């Protein structure tokens, strides 16, 4: 019996953590979260000369934290046997905007207003999601449903990939015109809407409505970095893309465009989509497959998968406008990709403006100035 106590203590030490662990020291594998090979805890296992629990094979239990690059707390999470059971996400200003908690087999998710009031609350049971409450910003319960909510719930697919409502931030012009152009802009892979708020979104012109959409897929557990689709790079084979996610993201963008226009009471004059890097890929896909749904697109440091370069039907693109911007020193996406985007749309009869800047894989203020000029042109 005396021998069992040290063994039990060792197992408790190995399988759980009382001090919050930085998320960079954890790794997600086959649906569970483990200590990373380079984590502090794995190094300390050498104290036991290889005996006891192998931390790489032990699901993580304990608390973890994530930080913005500037040092501010970005999120906190609690894991039990490799599963996330509680989490909270904060903005760079420290304001809570989303939280979740597992209660038995039910996941409760809450989105918050900046004033601390609940915005909406949903629950997930056995993979099925249903709204249970909605609130106005003053704390009163919002009983009425937006049309897009009602339709999605009736079709029982509110949270399906094709009906996923995307988080967003919005900037409306000071002058409330009867009809306004609107730009739906998408960040690159691993990005977040917070990267655009407040200074970057304010550099888009006041002559149109700007909406920054957040991608639907988190790059890794509790990273708070979001992607439109997974990319697999290889030195030995062609780069591959998750086609299912690309298609689902496209549908989510179209769905969100409609619900945001309704929710924000916008009477759009013209609708534009745009994006940087991965976001630019999504803008191109929307422009190619749904030219009747938009008036123009912006592709910034983007690429066009080969499958989309073979479009030949010119009947729907004669009124479509496009702005293609790339850096001549982009070491992430070869500048030749922007030329392929331009050539593809020109062959289809679209009106394309192409600009190459002296820059790398970045999204500088100069690019936003060029977007403003293009949006103002006819």
Whether residue 255 contacts residue 164, with contact meaning beta carbons closer than 8 Å, is answered with: yes
3-class DSSP assignment, residue 296: strand
Please list the pLDDT of the chain residue by residue as tens digits (378 residues): 444 433 333 333 334 446 888 887 877 776 778 876 544 333 333 333 333 445 567 888 889 888 876 788 888 889 888 888 898 888 777 888 788 888 887 888 888 888 888 887 877 776 565 556 778 888 888 766 655 555 555 554 444 444 567 889 999 987 666 788 999 999 998 888 878 877 899 999 999 999 999 998 877 655 667 889 887 654 444 567 788 888 889 999 999 999 899 888 888 999 999 999 999 999 999 999 999 999 999 999 999 876 666 666 788 899 999 999 999 999 888 899 999 999 999 999 999 999 999 999 999 999 999 999 999 997
**Domain positions in the chain:** 12-162, 163-376
Identify the sign of the CA torsion 353, 193, 212, 373. Answer: negative
Distance between CA atoms of residues 371 and 378, nearest Å: 13
Alpha helices in 37-195 (DSSP H): 40-44, 147-154
Q: Are the folds of 12-162 and 163-376 the same?
A: no
Whether residue 74 contacts residue 67, with contact meaning beta carbons closer than 8 Å, is answered with: yes
In the CATH hierarchy, which top-level class contains the domain 163-376?
alpha beta
Phi then psi for residue 286, to 5 deg, are -60, -40
Beta bridge partners of 33: 28
Residues 6+ apart with CB under 8 A from 31: 82
Distance between CA atoms of residues 210 and 76, nearest Å: 30
* Domain 12-162 bears CATH identifier 3.90.930: yes
Phi then psi for residue 236, to 5 deg, are -110, -5
The H or E element spanning position 182 is: strand 180-186
> How many helices (H) and strands (E) in the chain?
7, 21
Whether residue 299 contacts residue 308, with contact meaning beta carbons closer than 8 Å, is answered with: no
Distance between CA atoms of residues 94 and 35, nearest Å: 27
């Amino acid at each position: 019996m005396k021998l069992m106590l040290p063994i039990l203590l060792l197992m408790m030490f190995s399988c759980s953590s009382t001090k919050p662990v930085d998320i960079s020291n954890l790794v997600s594998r086959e649906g569970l979260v483990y200590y990373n090979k380079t984590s502090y805890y794995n190094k300390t296992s050498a104290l036991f000369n290889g005996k006891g629990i192998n931390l790489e094979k032990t699901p993580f239990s304990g608390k973890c934290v994530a930080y913005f690059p500037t040092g501010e707390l970005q999120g906190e999470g609690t894991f039990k046997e490799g599963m996330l059971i509680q989490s909270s996400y904060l903005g760079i200003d420290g304001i809570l905007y989303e939280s979740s908690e597992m209660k038995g087999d039910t996941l409760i998710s809450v989105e918050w207003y900046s004033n601390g009031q609940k915005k909406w609350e949903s629950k997930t049971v056995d993979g099925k999601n249903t709204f249970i409450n909605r609130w106005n910003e003053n704390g009163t319960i919002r009983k009425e449903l937006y049309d897009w909510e009602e339709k999605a719930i009736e079709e029982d697919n509110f949270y399906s990939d094709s009906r996923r409502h995307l988080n967003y931030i919005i900037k409306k012009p000071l002058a409330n015109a009867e009809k306004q152009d609107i730009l739906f802009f998408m960040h690159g892979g691993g990005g977040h809407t917070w990267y655009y708020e407040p200074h970057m979104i304010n550099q888009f012109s006041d002559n149109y409505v700007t909406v920054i959409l957040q991608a639907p897929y988190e790059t890794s557990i509790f990273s708070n970095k979001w992607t439109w689709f997974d990319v697999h790079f290889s030195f030995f084979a062609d780069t591959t893309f998750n086609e299912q996610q690309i298609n689902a993201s496209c549908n989510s963008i179209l769905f969100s465009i409609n619900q945001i226009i309704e929710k924000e009471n916008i009477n759009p004059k013209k609708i534009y989509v745009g994006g940087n890097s991965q976001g630019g890929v999504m803008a191109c896909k929307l422009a190619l497959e749904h030219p009747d749904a938009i008036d123009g697109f912006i592709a910034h440091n983007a690429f066009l998968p080969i499958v989309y370069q073979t479009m030949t039907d010119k009947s729907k693109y004669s009124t479509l406008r496009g702005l293609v911007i790339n850096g001549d020193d982009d070491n992430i996406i070869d500048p030749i990709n922007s030329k392929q985007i331009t050539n593809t749309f020109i062959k289809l009869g679209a009106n394309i403006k192409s600009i190459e800047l002296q820059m790398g894989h970045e999204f500088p203020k100069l690019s936003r100035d060029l977007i403003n000029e293009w949006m103002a042109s006819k």
